[in-house]
Amino acid sequence: MSSAHTWVVVLLLAATSAPALAQPQGTDDGSTALRAALLAAARDRKAGESAPPRRGRIERALYRYDNSAVATPFILQPWHGFQLAGGGFPAGAGTGVGVGFTHDLGRTRAAADPNRANRLAIDALGAYGTRGYSRVAAGFDMLRLAGAPLDVRVSGQHYEFPQQDFFGFTQDSRKEDRTNYLMRSTEGGAEVRWQATRLIDVAGGVFYLTPGIGSGTDSRYPSTDGFFNPAAIPGFKDQPDFIRTDASVALDWRDNPLHPHAGGRYGLDFSDYRDRDLDTFGFRKVSIDLQQYLPIPNRYRTIALHAAAVFTDPRSGQQVPFYFEPTLGGAQALRGFREFRFQDRHSVLATAEYRWEAWWALDGAVFVDAGMVAADRHDFALRDVDVSYGIGFRVHSNSAFVARLDLAFSREGFIPLLRFEHAF
């Protein structure tokens, strides 16, 4: 409070004998004084000490932030230009630090209308994880071609993940058998996405993949090829190139895909992997993903159900390479177990979450996951299912999810998970 503030307040409070406009001080002889004159005198005195308002440090910083054309879109809105970015690395990559770049081509920028016809955009990314993970990627998007809900994306990337976990196959694999291996790949391709109706999404694409496998670099655990017999792990010794062809369809009637409280999404993905070199590892993969959100009885409490299954089937006489097999464990599936904890040719997963709004920006959740992997579809049995459960906290805006902290428990212990995407 400035001195000018102080004296005016003191003057007003001390001189007033009724809860009314300011009263004169002791010099008043009572004969000629007027209320208006008193107020004028107070204003004259303040005029003599008038000073421009000043912002404190915090206010100054926040004012700059509010009025910055950089800061607000950087955090809250789609940003165009250079930006900080993660690498999209799997768990175990350490802290990922990267630089991304996005740019809309043409004079009319995306912020004016992200849904305009024939919008062209490019993006690029370079990222590195403290455990040696790396990724470089670039893409070119042609969006809303001819004004239709049709997007085309051409993209390529190279990544190297040197500490991918492998515990062996089957649901009976042991936690103590944790090993790690290196996986790298250079990939490129194109995909098309068509929103056939407001509720139906159809997509397809073709990609060329060049996976490579090597010894893991995590010194805390043995390398996979030093612990397991590489010859018994399909695809560990020899890695061909692949052409992957994708097709997918999804029926999505969630009330708000960014933060759903009602509705559902039923998706079916199909991928065909063709071995370009060895004619040994060709296979097909079918993924089913079902989500249902049941408000009870209003949007402030929701039961969220998720069922997912991935089935891989090798071409006749061929095998499914281990690095393309479905896995369970981690932040998206069977959360009480470490990422990649279980893997085999097939996986099934069921999740139920009860979410409640504790605050407009925070939901609580309790969840239970159940799932298993198997080499053969006939091997799935309820008695072999592994279960994890836990409690979670979800930060969100009025309309969009921001982050979650899940505290998950299982027969193998407790795992805290901080993620910036929904579990499903």
Partner 1 sequence: MPSKPVVRFMPRRLALVCAVAAIGVAVASAPRLGAQKLESWTKSPERRFYPDDPIWRDGDTRDIPPVAAYDLSKSYEFLNETFGGSVQSRGPALNVNTLGEVPDSSWFTNRIGRNDMTIEEVVRGPNQVDGPAPGTWHVTGRPDSGITPKFTIRDGRGDVYMIKLDPAKFPELPSSVEVISTKIFHAIGYHVPEDFIVTFEPSRLTVAEGARIRTESGKKRPIERADVEQWLKNVPRATDGSIRALASRYVPGKVVGQYRYSGMRPDDPNDIYPHERRRELRGLRVFAAWLNHDDARSINSIDTYVQDHGGRYIRHYLQDFGSNLGSGSTSAQQPRGGYEYLIEGDKIARGLVSFGLWTRAWMKVPYPSNPSLGNIEADFFEPSKWKTEYPQPAFDQMDAADGFWAASIASRFSDQMIEAIVGTGELSNPDAARYLTDVIIRRRDKVVAYWIVRTNPIDRFAVTRTSTGAELTFENAAMRLHVAAGTASYQARWLALDNTAGTERAAGDELASNAPRLAIPDEAWGPADASGFRYAIASIKTVQPDHKDWLAPVLVTVRDRHGELDIVGIERSAANVTPNQ
Q: Which of residues 329-388 bind partner 1 (CB under 8 A)?
A: 354, 356-360, 362, 364, 366
- CB–CB of 163/189 below 8 Å? no
Question: Which window, 150-158, 274-282, 314-322, 371-379, contacts partner 1 (CB under 8 A)?
Answer: 150-158
Alpha-carbon distances of 322 from 64, 203, 307, 346, rounded to whole Å: 52, 26, 23, 11
DSSP state of 60: H
Q: Quick one: which of 291, 247, 248 has its CA closest to 422?
A: 291
Q: For partner 1, which is the closer residue by CB, 34 or 200? A: 34
- CB–CB of 82/76 below 8 Å? no
Question: Which window, 41-49, 178-186, 225-233, 325-333, contacts partner 1 (CB under 8 A)?
Answer: 41-49
Shortest CB 170 distance to partner 1, Å: 24
The residues near 313 (Cβ < 8 Å, ≥ 6 apart) are 283, 284, 285, 286, 320, 345
Q: Is 70 in the site for partner 1 (CB under 8 A)?
A: yes
Of 27, 44, 146, 316, the one binding partner 1 (CB under 8 A) is 44
Question: Which window, 130-138, 168-176, 274-282, 379-387, contacts partner 1 (CB under 8 A)?
Answer: 130-138
Cα dihedral 402, 405, 410, 415 sign: positive
Phi, psi of 11 (to 5 degrees): -60, -45
Question: Which window, 45-53, 307-315, 328-336, 342-350, contacts partner 1 (CB under 8 A)?
Answer: 45-53
Strand runs labelled E in 212-299: 212-215, 242-252, 263-275, 283-295
Distance CA 211, CA 418 (A): 29
Q: Is 69 in the site for partner 1 (CB under 8 A)?
A: yes
Question: Which window, 61-69, 171-179, 275-283, 345-353, contacts partner 1 (CB under 8 A)?
Answer: 61-69
Q: For partner 1, which is the closer residue by CB, 316 or 399? A: 399
Distance CA 400, CA 398 (A): 6
Q: Quick one: which of 330, 369, 367, 325 has its CA closest to 347?
A: 325
In the block, tokens 């999505």 appear at 252
**DSSP string covering 159-213, please?**
EEEEEEEE--BSTT--GGG-EEEEEEEEEEEEEEEEE-SSSEEEEEEEEEE--EE
* Residues 73-92 interacting with partner 1 (rule: CB under 8 A): 73-81, 83-88
Q: Is 65 in the site for partner 1 (CB under 8 A)?
A: yes
- CB–CB of 327/334 below 8 Å? no
* Residues 265-294 interacting with partner 1 (rule: CB under 8 A): 269, 271
Of 118, 130, 217, 298, the one binding partner 1 (CB under 8 A) is 298
Exposed (0-12), middle (13-18) or buried (19+): which is 48, by Cβ within 10 Å? exposed
Q: For partner 1, which is the closer residue by CB, 5 or 377? A: 5
Of 27, 66, 176, 198, the one binding partner 1 (CB under 8 A) is 66
Q: For partner 1, which is the closer residue by CB, 228 or 283? A: 283
Q: Is 58 in the site for partner 1 (CB under 8 A)?
A: yes
Q: Is 295 in the site for partner 1 (CB under 8 A)?
A: no
Q: Is 13 in the site for partner 1 (CB under 8 A)?
A: yes
Q: For partner 1, which is the closer residue by CB, 222 or 364? A: 364
Q: Residue 2 is which amino acid?
A: S
Q: Is 111 in the site for partner 1 (CB under 8 A)?
A: yes
Q: For partner 1, which is the closer residue by CB, 88 or 222? A: 88
* Residues 155-214 interacting with partner 1 (rule: CB under 8 A): 155, 157, 189, 191, 193, 203, 205, 207
Q: Is 258 in the site for partner 1 (CB under 8 A)?
A: no
Distance CA 235, CA 166 (A): 13
DSSP state of 48: H
Shortest CB 11 distance to partner 1, Å: 8
290 bridge partner residues: 266, 307
Of 21, 196, 199, 232, the one binding partner 1 (CB under 8 A) is 21
Q: Is 20 in the site for partner 1 (CB under 8 A)?
A: yes
Shortest CB 175 distance to partner 1, Å: 27
Q: For partner 1, which is the closer residue by CB, 250 or 370? A: 250
Site string for partner 1, 225-254 (x = CB under 8 A): ---------------------x-x------
Alpha-carbon distances of 264 from 315, 336, 348, rounded to whole Å: 33, 25, 19
